Amino acid sequence: MKGLLILSAVLLAVFAKEDFSGHQVLRISAADKAQVEEVKKLEDLDHLQLDFWQGPASPSNPIDVRVPFHSVQSVKSFLEFNKINYKIMIDDVQLLLNNEQQQMLADQSKVRSTDIFRYDTYHTLTEIYDFMDLLVAENPNLVSKIQIGKSFEGRPLNVLKFSTGGNNRPAIWIDTGIHSREWVTQASGVWFAKKITEDYGHDETLTAILNSMDIFLEIVTNPDGFAYTHSTNRLWRKTRSIIPGSTCVGVDPNRNWDAAFGAAGASSNPCSETYHGKFPNSEVEVKSIVDFVKSHGNIKAFISIHSYSQLLLYPYGYTTTRAANQQELDELAKAAVTNLASLYGTKYKYGSIITTIYQASGSTIDWTYDSGIRYSYTFELRDTGRYGFLLPAKEIIPTAQETWLALMTIMDYALKHPY
């Protein structure tokens, strides 16, 4: 009681504080129940504006309290008068917050411009989606963002549209990250997006392409899988859809297309990495693209990007029957990988999926090709197995740069060979 009187006597004027400068966090060690009761009395004094992080409960538990600057002296005097032990845990809360803020800004590249975005590191889903919004904001006359659907777990499926006008122009589609663990592909997609904005109006070939055609780029084609590779399992490949009747999760989005669905070259076992799903387009990530392609109706080249193996592949995966324009596809592939190799000497092999890599049914470009998209290709980017999926970040930019040369070869060809 006496302590409380002293406390009232040394009360300072109460005024609202906007920040936490001078606030301290004290850790109080109450020796017995009586001391705990004393501290409880402090809780009742509203004018002190104490913020208990760990309230007074029992003598064995430390009591943590944030004390505003104006109450610091009073509280300390009270504690000392009552012979209650305490120590200062945080000297100045605002200083701590300032440091934390600075660190977060430094680490977490919540960048304000795509010019200072780090292209040589791997990013989270949020960072990539923020990048997309920035790019659109910086290039409103060239880039727009379309949401083609929502993933199984409700994430937006975002596509960047690069267009200089026109109405439903013939278009080129590029997707990266359909298999979430293939991180160099999403990272390259980010680089491609920036590259397009840099080169339009400066590079003759790209400018010619964009003056007649549109480019659609889906950077994170499997966002649920991608988030999972960050949070839980770096080597996750499939979607994250729940499979009724199974404890296993996810469908291989590159076996879920309506092209020889379920035939040899995919698995009917839900726990398998190449599980095709219960029916074609069961995966919303796949269906959204199918719906988009069908309703657009004017896509002339479709390129789906994977890693790793250093291959450029054309249809088919489900059959050894040659594609109708196989020779043309083969010659174009040869030209593309030659241009790719010109930069750093990176060697790519090329050919049909089934003869070059393995038999695969229900795969993306078999469907797009059979739907009439003549120039359908799949890339497998770096490397050939030294690091595989866990490609060191320093290889992102060289990979993106050389792959871009191959993409340009295909896009330029599509421009010059309308159909």
Nearest approach in angstroms of CB 335 to other proteins is 19
Secondary structure element (H or E) that encloses residue 223, with its range: helix 223-231
Among 69, 81, 119, 389, binds other proteins (CB under 8 A): 389
Among 76, 118, 278, 349, binds other proteins (CB under 8 A): 349
Considering only the stretches 76-84, 125-133, 231-239, 321-329, report the one whose residues sit in contact with other proteins under the rule CB under 8 A.
Answer: 231-239
Considering only the stretches 44-52, 290-298, 380-388, 397-405, report the one whose residues sit in contact with other proteins under the rule CB under 8 A.
Answer: 380-388
Q: Given the complex with other proteins, which of 196 and 311 has the nearer CB atom?
A: 311
Secondary structure element (H or E) that encloses residue 99, with its range: helix 93-107
Considering only the stretches 42-50, 58-66, 194-202, 388-396, report the one whose residues sit in contact with other proteins under the rule CB under 8 A.
Answer: 388-396
Q: Given the complex with other proteins, which of 238 and 300 has the nearer CB atom?
A: 238
* SS3 state at 147: strand
Question: Distance between CA 10 and CA 17 in Å, rounded?
Answer: 19
The alpha carbon of residue 132 and the mean position of all alpha carbons in its chain are separated, in whole angstroms, by 11
- CA geometry: angle at 148 spanning 369 and 127, to 5°? 110
DSSP letter, residue 382: S
Q: Given the complex with other proteins, which of 108 and 212 has the nearer CB atom?
A: 108
Q: Does 273 bind other proteins (CB under 8 A)?
A: yes
* SS3 state at 132: helix
Residues with Cβ within 8 Å of 57's Cβ and at least 6 positions away in sequence, in order, are: 36, 63
Q: Does 161 bind other proteins (CB under 8 A)?
A: no
Among 272, 325, 371, 401, binds other proteins (CB under 8 A): 272
Q: Which of 285, 380, 395, 402 is catalytic?
A: 380
Residues with Cβ within 8 Å of 357's Cβ and at least 6 positions away in sequence, in order, are: 309, 311, 313, 317, 380
Question: Distance between CA 241 and CA 88 in Å, rounded?
Answer: 50
- How many residues interact with other proteins (rule CB under 8 A)? 27
Please report, as residue ranges, which positions from 114 to 133 form the binding site for other proteins (by CB under 8 A). Answer: 121-122
174 pairs with which residues across the strands?
A: 217, 303
How does DSSP assign 34-59, residue by residue? Answer: HHHHHHHHHHH-GGG--EEEE----T
Q: Given the complex with other proteins, which of 218 and 252 has the nearer CB atom?
A: 252
Among 71, 221, 239, 274, binds other proteins (CB under 8 A): 274
Q: Does 183 bind other proteins (CB under 8 A)?
A: yes
Q: Does 345 bind other proteins (CB under 8 A)?
A: no
Nearest approach in angstroms of CB 389 to other proteins is 6
Q: Does 386 bind other proteins (CB under 8 A)?
A: yes
Question: For the window 236-255, what string marks contact with other proteins as x by the rule CB under 8 A?
Answer: -x--------------x---
- Catalytic status, residue 380: yes
Residues with Cβ within 8 Å of 73's Cβ and at least 6 positions away in sequence, in order, are: 10, 12
Q: In this structure, how many other beta carbons lie within 10 angstroms of the beta carbon of residue 393?
A: 14
Closest C-alpha to 34, from 68, 77, 83: 83
Q: Given the complex with other proteins, which of 101 and 121 has the nearer CB atom?
A: 121
Among 104, 105, 271, 324, binds other proteins (CB under 8 A): 271
Closest C-alpha to 259, from 364, 372, 379: 364
Q: Does 392 bind other proteins (CB under 8 A)?
A: yes
Residues in touch with other proteins (CB under 8 A): 121-122, 183, 229-230, 234-235, 237, 252, 267, 269, 271-274, 349, 358, 385-393, 395
Question: What are the residue numbers of the active site?
Answer: 380
